[in-house]
Structure 1
Amino acid sequence: MPIINRIAGFADDMTEWRRHLHQHPELGQDCHQTAAYVVERLRDFGITEIHQNVAVSGVIAVIEGQGEGPTIGLRADMDALPIAETTGADWASKNPGKMHACGHDGHTTMLLGAAKYLAETRNFAGRVVLIFQPAEETGGGAELMVEEGVLDRFGIRDVYALHNAPGTPVGEFYTTPGPIMAAVDTFHVDIKGEGGHGAYPQETRDPIPPALSIAQAMGTIVSRNHRALDELVVSVTMFHAGTADNIIPEDAYLGGTVRTFDKDVQAMVKRRMAEIVEGHARAFNVEATLRYEEGFPPTINTPQETSFAVEVAREVAAQGTVTPDVAPEMGAEDFAYFLNERPGCYLFVGNGDTAGLHQPNYDFDDNTAPYGASFFARVAERALPLGDG
């Protein structure tokens, strides 16, 4: 069996933890009950250095090894999504309109499993810092932890994280050196014209035609303003205008998302959007305002730590199956804030043939947890070998 035998031995306990967390989802930075449950488990494991209310409701725990050595960080996210669950599972969410539709209950469980094993064995020299982070989905959790000095305060040298991957067989891993997840930005365009009767458009300054034209022009940023080999997504995802079929509205709104890996590409998109909005405002005789909000930066794995993480994953993966050079994804992940400050690696572990992430019928596969916990545990033992202190 590729997973660590001791971790396989308490797999049923991990299932119990995960299903409890699944029943009690919390959103954003308000993960206080989840954090309390995590702290209770950590204390059960005999871990005594526990720091609470980090980044509002985050938890940091420190496990001391045998002797002096460096410090590494292992991170799991704790927050859920504002989605009404439809799984019908016995352990379905008890909080209406909230569910763990991205598997953060599983991520927290995997790190708890590693914590239990490492607290028992302490077969490493140095320190392992366990980072239980709130507010990954809504943003702010990782960034706030970095701003609060978590990496410096605990002297973390390098940092690692996992995310489950529906559609990939349970226990298989994949990652890549360099960019693996994109930067995510949001844009908003507010258009103000002059409304009136739909039968007399000549007496209005209709905001709908410029809004439609702006939305179409946004698409040309990808097709005509950037090099085809540079990854870029510009998606208009919202369009709001009007209240009745015989009224030309005064206002229109459109918004969407931008995904990039390169700062120069991101700057080009911002410039072109501003030019498009300004030009259309003049052409259609309306007022138009662009609000461009930069979100998570790209998640960029460092080569040496990625090579190391791939070696470790091969030790514990089902059939040793690890893809070390997967194509980057255009989704985003706030673990990027940690990787902006420290070397490290972000990996995916297979979750089997389940519904996709952020879907109301998604559920984390409990068979995945021992693989993730074994990976975290072996990262600690391999990165902090006894005798190196």
Structure 2
Amino acid sequence: MEIEDFYQIREDFHRHPELSGKEKETARRVADLLKGMQPTHLYTGIGGHGVIAEYVFAEEGETLLFRADMDAVAIEEHGGTGHDSLNPGAAHKCGHDGHTTILLAFADLLHRYPLAKGKILLLFQPAEETGEGAMKMLEDPFFNGRHIDHVFALHNLPGYPTAAVVCRPGSFTCSVVSCSIEITGKTSHAAEPEKALSPVPLLLQLLRTAESWDCNTPGKETYFRSTLIELHIGEEAYGVAAGQGVIRFTFRAATEKNLQTRIREMEEMVAAIPKTNPEYNVRLQWLEPFQANENTMKEAGWIKQAAQAQGLPYIEAEVPFAWGEDFGAFTQRYPGALFGLGAGTKTPPLHSPKYDFPNELIEKGAHIFYEIAKIALESRGKQE
């Protein structure tokens, strides 16, 4: 296939975005395209709508996994791309249409230029935006007893020079989780608020505690940020003293360990409320977890080496990115690394209504994946 064919494929994905967990047609299209690239094995329905293409070049050599995400963002597109979304309320504003196409172009390279040894798994993942897709795929029986030596993924990065490779060993993205705490007491007439059981003091206590945890010094392992998402108490009923409220946060930390420490502390605080105030009902929910992408030194080094071999600028990130990316579920289980691919300094930011994945990154992304695969497989041979 010519590179222009992949431009058209990407733009077709862009016209037909599907939200997290609903990527049925995207997955079908991916599988149909992969058949023409003749993988050794093709697996569908992995962890939901996940697709995996396996290329076996020889039993000798390691197994590498490369991942792309397929889901869209719940946002309206404002038009002007020339290939606008045809699905109201969904648009590819994080570039997953581009990531998917990069992995397809990589499959085409593997088909046309087979490697000398090893196995390559190309994993097309649903539901990255909700933080659920990676774990659902890893929990699929496909991974039971399957040995994987190294894992890799990329994410496009607006604000960086086009095709610049951005990476760092250690934490590349933060661990992130969202939390919702509902507290129900008792309402009363607004003229007699003393007869109500107000959630306000407890909600404010939770807010003060979360804010006290903040350590907003980028680059430190102790980095932690709590963001208040919603604080809602009562209803617009002026004759009623509020008896119910909810507070919602996102928590993000430089390491998975630090995030888990704060999660335990919040759980202990919430569990203590009904023990000391048995008249209150409390409900705590943890939502949309993203584990930290903790890049291992060797794999991050291969990415730098691949960038240099391809003549691409290499930028070592000074601090972890504060956003979450659920590829962290893979890097927590296997040695590997996530890296960024610059999308241009003038490209609108991710999740912006005006964002559109730059087609020129498709060829660059596919070739750097191919280069990483060659370096990783040759590295094992040199060690032996």
The 1-side partners of 2:116 and 2:144 are apart by 21
Query: What is the TM-score when the length of structure 1 is the normalising length?
Result: 0.87
| Matched residue type, 1:80 | A
Match of 2:110 among 118, 132, 137: 118
| Matched residue type, 1:201 | P
Match of 2:85 among 73, 87, 93: 93
What percentage of aligned pairs have identical amino acids?
30
- Counterpart of 1:355? 348
| Matched residue type, 1:136 | E
Secondary structure of the residue that 1:334 maps to in structure 2? coil
| Matched residue type, 1:329 | F
2:196–2:242 CA contact under 8 A, matched in 1: no
- Counterpart of 2:322? 330
Change (3 A) 1:119 1:167: same
Secondary structure of the residue that 1:341 maps to in structure 2? coil
2:99 aligned with 1:104, yes or no?
Answer: no
**Most deviating of 98-107 and 295-304:** 295-304
Q: CA deviation at 1:235?
A: 1.6
The 1-side partners of 2:257 and 2:324 are apart by 18
**Number of residue-to-residue matches in the alignment:** 376
2:6 aligned with 1:14, yes or no?
Answer: yes
Match of 2:34 among 42, 64, 84: 42
- Counterpart of 1:314? 308
Give the unaligned 5+ runs of structure 2.
none
Change (3 A) 1:340 1:386: closer
2:170–2:297 CA contact under 8 A, matched in 1: yes
2:221–2:254 CA contact under 8 A, matched in 1: no
2:215–2:224 CA contact under 8 A, matched in 1: no
The 2-side partners of 1:46 and 1:263 are apart by 38
Give the unaligned 5+ runs of structure 1.
1-8
Q: CA deviation at 1:19?
A: 0.4
2:193 aligned with 1:187, yes or no?
Answer: no
Change (3 A) 1:42 1:268: closer
Match of 1:377 among 346, 370, 373: 370
Query: What is the TM-score when the length of structure 2 is the normalising length?
Result: 0.88
The 2-side partners of 1:36 and 1:158 are apart by 27
Secondary structure of the residue that 1:222 maps to in structure 2? coil
More relative contact order, 1 or 2 (CA 8 Å, 6+ apart): 1
Q: CA deviation at 1:154?
A: 5.1
Change (3 A) 1:362 1:213: same
The 2-side partners of 1:251 and 1:49 are apart by 54
Query: What value does the CA root-mean-square deviation take over the aligned residues?
Result: 2.8
Q: CA deviation at 1:113?
A: 0.8
Q: Deviations over 1:152-192 (max 9, x none)?
A: 56532111100000111110011111111122222222222
- Counterpart of 2:292? 298
Change (3 A) 1:214 1:62: closer
2:120 aligned with 1:136, yes or no?
Answer: no
2:175–2:256 CA contact under 8 A, matched in 1: no
Change (3 A) 1:138 1:149: same
Match of 2:20 among 16, 28, 32: 28
- Counterpart of 2:73? 81
